[in-house]
Amino acid sequence: MAVPLLDLKAQHDPIRKDLLAAMEQVLDKNNFILGEEVKLLEEKVANYSQTQYGIGVSSGTDALLVSLMALNIKPGDEVITTPLSFFATAGTIVRLGARPVFADIDPVTYNIDPMKIKEVITSRTKAIVPVHLYGQCADMDPIMKLASQHGLGVIEDAAQSLGAEYREGRRAGSMGTLGCMSFFPSKNLGGFGDGGMVVTNDQELMERIRILRVQGGKPKYYHKFIGGNFRLDTLQAAILNVKLPYLDRWTSWRQQNAERYAVLFKESGLMEKIGLQLPKAVYQDGGVTHYHIYNQFVVRLPNRDGLRNFLKENGIGNEVYYPVPFHLQECLQDLGYHEGDFPHAELACKETVGIPIYPELKQEQQEQVVSKIQEFYNQ
Residues that bind ligand PLP (CB under 6 A): 59-61, 85-86, 88-89, 131, 157, 159-160, 182, 184, 194, 196
196/356 with CB nearer ligand PLP: 196
Least distance in Å: CB of 17 to ligand PLP? 27
Q: Which residues of 182-198 are buried (b: 16+ CB within 10 A; e: fewer)?
A: bbbbebbbbbbebbbbb
Task: Between 62 and 377, name the residue whose CB sits nearer to ligand PLP.
Answer: 62
Residue number of the CB closest to ligand PLP reads 60
> Which residue number, 276 or 356, has a Cβ lying nearer to ligand PLP?
356
**H or E segment and range at residue 79:** strand 78-81
Burial class (CB in 10 A: 0-12, 13-18, 19+), 211: middle
Minimum distance, C-beta of residue 194 to ligand PLP, in the bound complex (Å): 6
SS3 content of the chain, % helix, strand, coil (to 5): 45, 15, 40
Calculate the alpha carbon distances from 203 to 18, 52, 70, 200 in Å. Answer: 34, 8, 12, 8
CB atoms within 10 A of CB 239: 27
Contact 178, 202 (CB under 8 A): yes
CB of 352 to ligand PLP, least distance (A): 15
Of the two residues 38 and 307, which places its CB atom closer to ligand PLP in the complex? 38
Q: Residues 54, 81: contact at Cβ < 8 Å?
A: no
47: Cβ–Cβ under 8 A, 6 or more apart, which residues?
A: none
Each as own residue / partner, the long-range contacts of residues 11-18 (CB below 8 Å, 24 or more positions apart, any chain) are 11/250, 11/358, 11/359, 11/360, 15/242, 15/243, 15/246, 18/242
What's the min distance (Å) between Cβ of 111 and ligand PLP? 11
DSSP-based three-state secondary structure for 16: helix
- What's the one-letter identity of residue 140? M
How far, in Å, CA of 43 to CA of 273, rounded? 49
Instruction: Put the strands of the sheet holding 125-129 in their side by side order.
Output: 53-57, 196-200, 178-182, 153-157, 125-129, 78-81, 99-102
- Closer of 81 and 365 to ligand PLP (Cβ): 81
Q: Which is nearer to ligand PLP, 64 or 370 (CB)?
A: 64
CB 155 to ligand PLP: min, Å = 11
Greatest alpha-carbon span in the chain? 68
Whole-number minimum distance, CB 21 to ligand PLP, in Å? 25
Q: How far apart are CB 320 and ligand PLP at their closest, in Å?
A: 14
Shortest distance, position 116 Cβ to ligand PLP, whole Å: 18
**Exposed, middle or buried, 109 (CB in 10 Å: 0-12/13-18/19+)?**
buried
> Nearest approach, Cβ of 218 to ligand PLP (angstroms)?
25
What does R_g of the chain's alpha carbons equal in angstroms? 21
Residue with smaller CB distance to ligand PLP, 112 or 270: 112
| Pick 77 or 157: Cβ nearer ligand PLP | 157
Would you say 268 or 318 has its CB closer to ligand PLP?
318
